[in-house]
């Protein structure tokens, strides 16, 4: 025996207000957010309308309220590069000044003290590298040794001079390092000459070393006494300190 179930009738809405209150309306997805289109009064560089940007002012305002100058006001951008200083001058390297100081050391009897008043370290570094290069050609790797001796020698001469001069001494460590480095030129020449002297000629190497050491000693002691106050009466002791310094460098070259 079958049982009958009451099936409610299906009512399809026909649209409008004729549908019943229980009928669910179909919902469509909402469109995503879209920014409003810029108007004619908007900022020119925020708009994608080229025409409106071209119609705006020729000198746009800067971010801090000023005006942004165009490239034509700088002469096409070339004047700014012409006003820049050379790279060597910005680094504090003056080749003409280095050459004048080096040339003044070449004549130990007529040393120009005026060119050494402005001390620098670019010339001593160049001479240090030259000495290391000649030692490397001789089969000796002494980069660290020579650099350490230059630092110790500068401090040694600085301490000796200020102890002798007392309160009247005005030699600073920067000037002392510059003088010791520039007066290293005869030792650099000695290292270059020793490449052509055979190892068996011991007396010749010692005589050459003595000549170049005296050359460096005279140049360094003359510059120290002339550029600093209070060293004229202690010239002999200052020359002895310089002699010890350049004797150490000559021993590196000989042995």
* 181-239 tens-digit pLDDT: 999 999 999 999 999 988 778 889 999 999 999 999 999 999 999 988 878 888 999 99
Q: For 49-72, how does the pLDDT look when each residue is reduced to its tens digit (9 = 90+)? A: 445 444 444 455 554 445 545 444
Domain boundaries, the chain: 95-254
Name 242's Cβ contacts closer than 8 Å, sequence gap at least 6.
157, 183, 216, 217, 220, 221, 224
Structure tokens at 36: 């409003």
Q: Which residues of 73-92 are buried (b: 16+ CB within 10 A; e: fewer)?
A: eeeeeeeeeeeeeeeeeeee
Tell me the angle at which helices 122-137 and 185-193 cross, rounded to the nearest 10 degrees. Answer: 20
Model-level pTM? 0.66
DSSP3 helix / strand / coil % (the chain, rounded to 5): 60, 0, 40
């Amino acid at each position: 025996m079958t049982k009958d179930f009451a099936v409610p009738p299906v009512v399809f809405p026909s649209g409008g207000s004729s549908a019943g209150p229980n009928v669910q309306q179909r919902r469509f997805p909402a469109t995503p957010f879209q920014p409003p289109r810029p108007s004619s009064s908007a900022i020119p560089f925020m708009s994608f309308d080229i025409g409106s940007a071209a119609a705006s002012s020729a000198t746009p305002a800067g971010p801090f309220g000023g005006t942004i100058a165009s490239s034509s006001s700088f002469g096409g951008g070339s004047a700014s590069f012409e006003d820049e200083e050379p790279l060597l001058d910005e680094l504090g390297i003056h080749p003409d000044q280095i050459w004048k100081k080096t040339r003044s050391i070449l004549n130990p009897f007529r040393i120009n003290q005026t060119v050494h008043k402005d001390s620098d370290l670019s010339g001593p570094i160049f001479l240090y590298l030259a000495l290391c290069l000649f030692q490397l050609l001789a089969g000796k790797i002494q980069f660290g040794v020579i650099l350490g001796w230059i630092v110790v020698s500068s401090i040694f001469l600085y301490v000796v001079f200020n102890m002798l001069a007392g309160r009247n001494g005005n030699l600073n460590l920067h000037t002392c390092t510059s003088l010791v480095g520039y007066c290293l030129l005869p030792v650099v020449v000695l290292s270059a000459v020793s490449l052509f002297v055979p190892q068996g000629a011991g007396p010749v190497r010692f005589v050459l070393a003595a000549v170049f050491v005296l050359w460096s000693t005279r140049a360094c002691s003359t510059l120290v006494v002339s550029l600093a106050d209070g060293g004229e009466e202690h010239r002999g002791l200052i020359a002895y300190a310089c002699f010890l310094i350049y004797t150490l460098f000559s021993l590196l070259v000989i042995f």
